[in-house]
Amino acid sequence: MTTATVPPQGAKRADRPAEDPRPRRGLPARLKRSFDAHWYAWAMVVPVVIVLGVLVGYPLVRGVYLSLTDATEANMGGTYGVNHIPATYKFLGLDNYWNILSGEEGMFYPRLLWTLVWTASCVFFHYTIGLGLALLLNRDLRFRGLYRILLILPWAVPPFVAAFSWRLMYNSEGGLFNTLLASVGMEPVSWLGDPLMQKVSVVAVNVWLGVPFMMVALLGGLQSIPRELHEAAEMDGATAWQRFRHVTLPGLRPVSSTVILLGTIWTFNMFPIIYLVIGQNAGDDTDILATYAFDLAFSSVRDYAQSATYGVIILSMLLVFAVFYRRLLIRQEDAR
């Protein structure tokens, strides 16, 4: 058998020592041996590697390059009918980055601050509400199946439909919320006009949209905690809160850490809600970094270079976050 097929666990460690102590052979020979052993695996992953190289790798390189230039719609060139207009943008080096990160451009830090507030508040509400509902649904409850289906409904709706439904309810003309306020004699609120209310509104929509995923994921996690643990804790006289704190939460850890990581990344990049609920004509106050970068590239003056720079900065921040988060988890795991 030529392939390095793996028996269930720990095999990676096992075959390393077998390789290393051997006398070093020439590079071609080692490559040959490696190829013989792994060509099945490589053949299987080659389609994905090619697709990723073409559809992700190349655009990424091109994006990084664009971020080092002053490319806009005007100097981008391109082919219009039979005329080919050459691109005339120049290479600038790190000017764009300096411009944005030094605060000179003026939009980055306010956008970043709001993006962080947006992400933190959305993920916080997703997780706490999702956990609360999961705990309720995990109990013996009549109509549980029905409740579960109704609670998942927001997840089943395409995000753009959800965004428009909420926009309809926020509407200043004939919107449900203002109609309700008026009927109890209160002043209408400009849900989608006032910057602060805009922010509250979009967070509400996103919380509504994101809770079902958390709930279902955490419910799965809850059900995987062995019942005996709770019974043992109870036997030892643990109160309900102590059981929650020391049995339920630790038992949920693997699920929690994954959904929080995913949720943070998704929320950080969440495009459709803010873009569709607020619309493009409402100023930049409620734009998070991702929608702001999109607007830079595809609204009025198409500033490709700035937008690409924002994209690269967002990606770098997420990478740093993911690495730190992972490391934090591993350290906590070791500390136990």
Partner 1 sequence: MKAPTTPTAPATAAVPSPAAALPAAEAPVRRRGRDERGTGASVALHLTVITACLIAVFPLVWVLWISLRGADGWKDPRNLSGGLDLTNYAHVLGDTEFLTWFGNSLIVAFFTTLLGVFIAASSGYAISRMRFPGQKPLMWVFLITQMFPIAVLIVPIYNIFSDLRLVDSHAGLVLAYCSTAVPFCAWMLKGYFDTIPHEIDEAGRVDGLTPFGTFYRLALPLARPGLAVTGFYAFITAWGEVAYATALISSDENKTLAAGLQTFVGQHTSNWGAMTAASVLITIPAALVFFFAQKGLVSGLTAGGTKG
Q: Which position among 254, 283, 324, 333 is part of the footprint of partner 1 (CB under 8 A)? A: 254
Per-residue mark of binding to partner 1, 212-231 (x: CB under 8 A): xx--xx--x---------xx
199 vs 217, beta carbon nearer partner 1: 217
One-letter amino acid at 335 equals: A
φ/ψ region of 45 (left if φ > 0, alpha if ψ in -120 to 50, else beta) reads alpha
Q: Which position among 32, 36, 58, 90 is part of the footprint of partner 1 (CB under 8 A)? A: 58
Within its chain, how far is the Cα of 270 from the centroid? 7
Measured from the Cβ of residue 100, the count of other Cβ atoms closer than 10 Å reads 20
d(CA 111, CA 286): 8
φ/ψ region of 27 (left if φ > 0, alpha if ψ in -120 to 50, else beta) reads alpha
Segment interacting with partner 1 (CB under 8 A) among 91-99, 101-109, 120-128, 246-254: 246-254
* Shortest spacing between CB 176 and partner 1, in angstroms: 6
DSSP assignment string, 153-172: HHHHS-HHHHHHHHHHHH-T
DSSP 3: S
* Shortest spacing between CB 179 and partner 1, in angstroms: 6
Is residue 290 within the footprint of partner 1 (CB under 8 A)?
yes
3 vs 196, beta carbon nearer partner 1: 3
Q: Which position among 96, 111, 125, 167 is part of the footprint of partner 1 (CB under 8 A)? A: 167
Is residue 158 within the footprint of partner 1 (CB under 8 A)?
yes
d(CA 22, CA 330): 33
Q: Which position among 51, 94, 196, 301 is part of the footprint of partner 1 (CB under 8 A)? A: 51
Residue appearing with tokens 């753009």:
160
Residue appearing with tokens 């030094």:
102
Within its chain, how far is the Cα of 221 from the centroid? 21
d(CA 97, CA 100): 5
Q: Are 201 and 243 in contact (CB under 8 A)?
A: no
199 vs 292, beta carbon nearer partner 1: 292
Q: Which position among 68, 100, 252, 312 is part of the footprint of partner 1 (CB under 8 A)? A: 312
* Shortest spacing between CB 178 and partner 1, in angstroms: 10
Is residue 274 within the footprint of partner 1 (CB under 8 A)?
no
Is residue 243 within the footprint of partner 1 (CB under 8 A)?
yes
140 vs 187, beta carbon nearer partner 1: 140
Q: Which position among 152, 181, 189, 197 is part of the footprint of partner 1 (CB under 8 A)? A: 152
Segment interacting with partner 1 (CB under 8 A) among 53-61, 90-98, 103-111, 116-124: 53-61
196 vs 330, beta carbon nearer partner 1: 330
Residue 84 has φ and ψ, to the nearest 5°, of -105, 120
Q: Which position among 102, 281, 331, 334 is part of the footprint of partner 1 (CB under 8 A)? A: 281
DSSP 91: B
* Shortest spacing between CB 74 and partner 1, in angstroms: 14
Per-residue mark of binding to partner 1, 7-46 (x: CB under 8 A): xx--xx--x------------------x--xx-xxxxxx-
- Tell me how long the chain is: 336
Within its chain, how far is the Cα of 101 from the centroid? 23
Work out the burial of residue 146: count CB atoms within 10 Å of its CB; fewer than 13 is exposed, 13-18 middle, 19 or more buried.
exposed
Name the strand (E) or helix (H) holding 61: helix 58-67
Per-residue mark of binding to partner 1, 69-108 (x: CB under 8 A): -------x-xx-----------------------------
